[in-house]
Structure 1
Amino acid sequence: MAEAKTIEGSDFLQKILDTISQPIFFKDNTGKYLGCNKAFEKFHELSKHEILGKTILDIESSKLGQMYYQQDVDLLSKGEVERRDIVFIKNDRVLMMNKNTYLNTDGSVGGLVGVINDITELKENQQQLRESQEQLKVLITSIQDMIFTLNLEGCCTGFYGQWATKAGVLDAEYIGETLHHIFADSYEEFERDIFPKVLAGQDVMYECQLGSAMGGKQAQISLSPIYNENHQIAGVVGVGRDVTVQQMVLEALRESENMYRGLVDTTPYGIILTDISGRIQIVNQQSAFLHNFDDLEEMMGKNFFSLVELEEQKRMQGLFSKVIEKGKAQKAEFSLVKHKGGSFLSEVITSSVLDAQGNPKFFINVERDITEEKSMQEVLKGKNEELHFTIAQLKVAQVKLVQQEKLAGIGQLAAGVAHEINNPLGFVISNYSTLKNYVERLRTIIQEYSNIKTVAEKINDPHLTEFVAKMNQLEKEKKISFVLEDIQDLFKESNDGLERVGKIVTGLRNFARIDQETDFQEYDLNEGIKNTLVVARNELKYCANVEENLGDIPCIEAVGSHINQVLLNIIVNAGQAIKQKQVEALGLIRITTYTFGEFVYCEISDDGVGIAEENKEKIFEAFFTTKPIGQGTGLGLSISHDIIVNKHHGEIILDSTVGIGTVFIMKLPIQQTKQSL
């Protein structure tokens, strides 16, 4: 029964051994195999039956087998428990065989047990570790900083780095010593404040002045605790870096920054730096002032677009896009908002700051308040418009004065011409009357001679008959009968001509007399029209007939010379409009006057070319003309409008159709108010 249990136990032990992946074997005290697991069979590529009861020499006949056998003999001969480790290579794998002897119950060596482990990866890791340690050593010794390690008492356990080497500080000098020679005057602070914090688990970084051993340099010291495998602090590692030059550069940078900050803050322009999304990163004092912020910090982190009026934010975003697209600064005007309400008009110049790859990283926005400037521009614009208007008025006034002087000259000339014509005309009319009387006398005598001739023809006297025949022949040759008949028509036509010349002279004298007037006086509009037609007759006789429909109207209070000027202007324009139509037949100018209420009206119409719709609103503007170059100054109707509307407080109305004709209606008050006079 006990034997059965032993066999059962041996089988169970064998099953356990077979599950182990490492080859395992055991031998007796003669070196013969007593047992092994399946991994050992696979290792030697032999079955258990081919292994048990044999020595290593039977399995491995090479020199390696002899060496293993001799090691077995030596190990078994010790007479006590002993271990032996053997490293060897098989199939490019590094293996380690661990052999241990075991004792019998009587204390004698019973045999040995062996295990083969594949330590290839272990060896590779060890090699990598050695290489890493070597590289770390090279790195530490070549680093420009000072590196040191301390134990829990603050004594140096290692000292490395080029800075220490260059300073002539040797590792051996400080092993087991504190760093009071290195830190000098700052060591007390290190020992009292800094070192305890690191031992408490804190990472500490601070700056201090080193002693003469390290050249009296300004150093940045970084200290961290070192933990053991139990996560307990076992020491301290420190890195010291020479920041003397850095401090000088930083100081210079701080001075430079303060200088530029001063420049930026004193500039009259607001400056805002934003990131690519428009988030504010930096602002100056003026920008805070413009946007009515009490503190610069209030603006930090805000979106720049929120400082722009809502309806203009898209346009500002477009400006940012344009900067990116064009690659250069862009300028535009925006309405910007103030923090506590209100807004201001600003010129904004936006440019970009590029990163190392040439991509936009920041935007610089320069703001200039142009509210007052724009207001002044509007004022100046208004003043400029007033000035232009005044200059235009002066030009018109100048031309009017010239025109009036010309008209005055024409009036004086007309008066002179009328006077020069009137004197000889008086003689002609007087002599004409006398001549007509004389001719009537001769006509009476000639009639009597005719009666005598008739009586003589009845008397039978050869001498009288011959005389009568000669007289008849002479009358026939001289056409006395025709002359006597025609002379009446000649006298009638001459009389009509003299009367017409008389009327022309009278019209010229009246036109000239009225043209000298400059004050409001009683004025007969119908008489003014007649006198004006006398002056304009030569301009009209080859292009138009004039139809006068002059009503029974009262005299009005007016400056006669001015109204005559308007009449002459419109009538001459009507004649020119008819000429421009270029038709063979004579055109028609119709002049009509009538009274309605407290006003008299004068309508002057023509059947000329008419005025285009787009020109109607400009027809009374100074210097506007539709006539060909050289035929008009563009002032006639402007002056006429001024005379009728501004000086006489009336109206001048235009109605025109292209191709049909034009009508001008003048509406004049019969009496002027006292204020207008």
Structure 2
Amino acid sequence: MEKKLLRLEQENARLKALLKEREEEKRITSLRTGECLSESEEKFRILFDEHSAVMLVIDPDTANIVDANRAAASFYGWSIEELRKMNIQQINLLSPDVVLKEMEKTRSSKQNRFVFCHRLFDGSVRDVEVFSNRIEIGGKAFLYSVIHDITERNQAEQELRISEERFRKLFESHAAVKILLDPDTGNIVDANRAAADFYGWSVEELRKMNIRQINPITVEEIQNNLDKSRSAKQNRFFFRHCRSDGSVRDVEVFSSKIEITGKEFLYAIVFDITESKKTEKLLSDSELKFRTITEQMVEVVFVSDRSGILTYASQAIEKIFGYTPQEVIGDHFTEYLAEDEIPGALLIFNKTLQDDLIDQVVEFRFRKKNGDFFYGEVHVHYFQGQDLSGMMGLIRDVTERKKNENRRKQYEQELLENGLLLKSIYEEVNHSIFVVDVLPDGSYQYKGHNPLNEQLTGISNQELVGATPEKLFPPQIAQKFIGNYDACVRRGSSIHFEENLQFMGKVSWWETVLNPVRNDYGRIYRIIGTSTKITARKLAEQKLFHLNKTLEERIAERTRELEIMHQQVILHEKLASIGQLAAGIAHELNNPLNFIKINFSTQKEYFDDLLLLVNEYREITGKVESMGGFLAPALQKLRRMEAELDIDMLLDDIPMIFSESNNGFERMTTIINSMRNFSITHAPDERVSFDLNQGLRDMLILARHEYRDIAGIETRFDEVLPSVYCNPEQINQLFLNMIVNSAHAIKSQNRSSPGTIALHTWFEGSKVFCSITDDGPGIPEEIRRDIFNPFFSTKEPGKGIGLGLSICYDIVVHKHGGTLSVECPAGGGTIITIGLPSRICPVAGFQPE
């Protein structure tokens, strides 16, 4: 970064010098031109025509170009003759009025230097600096203009401004701590925000400080270091710097000399290395861990310096070579190689050090201490430590593997013969076969295909070999092939699929199997595909599919009808089962309940008698106690026993217990009566007179556990409501379902206060109506039209009592000739209104008009 900044400063100075030189050149050129014009017309003509500067003579009255030199023709791109026929407004991008005003300034000597944008013949636009003077030729005034192309100069000035701004931003915004020092005084000239954050002083405070206030070494040492950095003898230093909070940090400082407006400064970048000091011990521990690990390895780990001298060998060398580590350290590594392996080993060694190679794997023959030779696989790589560099490696005995190579060669002939056999199969088999190479970058390249595939696709093997899918096929087909190959590589095993493709203008179907092939390292490097053309079969399958689809639709429709009938049968059986169960429970509960009620009544009578007796006892003992005598102690003992047994409390509490128990018995009797009413069974088609109000009361009792803690009940029953003729089991189950649904809707809101369920009955026309209203969330508008459809539900699977609104609708409308409607007011909640005829519905399955 320091070098870049220095180069930018040097470039800035060079550009400024160049601009100054050009200004001087223009000034001299202008003077010389004036002198030449004053000498003679001939000299002016020669100077005008031959001068390298672009020159024009312009009529200020018309703005026509009177004359131009060869440099002007070369610059603008028109010939001199063409320029003499042109007007300056065809070149100058300013408006005609402005051009004439600018020429008037020259003619009146108010201004003779201008900056314009001129258009060239090729359409390009250049920035130009124009020096224009008024001259007279034959008594007529003309404007003599010398034109300099300053496009590059403007660009250079712009780049210089950008460079200066970039340097300032790099300095101020850089995350590294940066300081600008005056080497003569040690004063801090500038500092960036990172320096302020690191040292704890603001940038303004740092600019008023001296480096001695940060660096605690002596003045002589500071000045000595400043001189070293200034003379470029040393640009890297290690110090301990103080911060505003009194803490001291270890820092590494990189300092270089820069020049700003002729003055030398030191540009320093400071790095906090306090933590790295703490890691030195960790590095020492890491080295110990390295030695511990290498000593446990079965392979030989060795380290050599740059000259090839062994500086370390692990204990495994004794087992593999027969030498102890102490015997080999200090020897050159080639002493343990076979003679014919030494040149190759030295070549590898030198290349490793020269190119800093990492993780090379080679094989050499090594010599053991007893003179035997063995094959070793060597992993070597270059290493660079703090104080030394060289080569580090690992040696593994692979003698057995080399022996196995001979066995492998015996198989090569068999593989060759098998290859010929596979080739004959490849060419004669009645399947399309193609081979795709998987390149290291993940792309694909065709290796070839058999004659049958060549015939079916219309692509010759010569065209296919070496081509990629993108080159050989249209983009859509190529991407489909690449996707299939990617899927095979990702899976790592065979894949099977069908696809439709277009070859030779026809769409065809293919059944393809892709098989991945792995190399010795387990990487998939090739895919072998086999394809069978199945167009005829697919057309037959599509025809069969359409036939099956038609049949399935018919079966689905019939199945739907059967499901509805089945659901109704299940409902009837469920209602019958529930009724039988309720009747049994009511019967079983009624007998013990009557027994308890009779005993309870008897107990209450006994208690009343005992209460009379206790009151008489108290009255008598009170009189005896007032008389005194020998019975007084016995009476006092009796009083104490009454106090200990809290007889007064018992006499007050027992009547209350009797009252509450009696209420409980009445409640149980009501529930049992409701269960009896619910359990009365009728044939599905049977219709009997039914009190709608009593049915709702019974269902409220049975469903109380569902709404007890969730909602309050409001009832508004028409007490003179006429009876309806219906199937009571179905209507009761309908009411129960509606009440439970309302309770569940309110519960789903997780409210902090109870909701409300309101039941209202009334008579209107020839129908008896019942509405069940709740203040739950309501039913979303988008699903209201579906709520009466078969099998539609808004509840999670496994919840509810098994009676959907579709069957409720069937019970009310179809079986009883009534009406069922659902409303959801804008303020929320749901209102379900049921209307039933007050007359007899003739048969089940009645369809209202």
Give the TM-score category using the shorter length: 0.3 to 0.5
Where relative contact order (Cα < 8 A, 6+ residues apart) is larger, the structure is: 1
The two structures have a TM-score, normalised by structure 2, of 0.34
The two structures have a TM-score, normalised by structure 1, of 0.43
Larger radius of gyration: 1
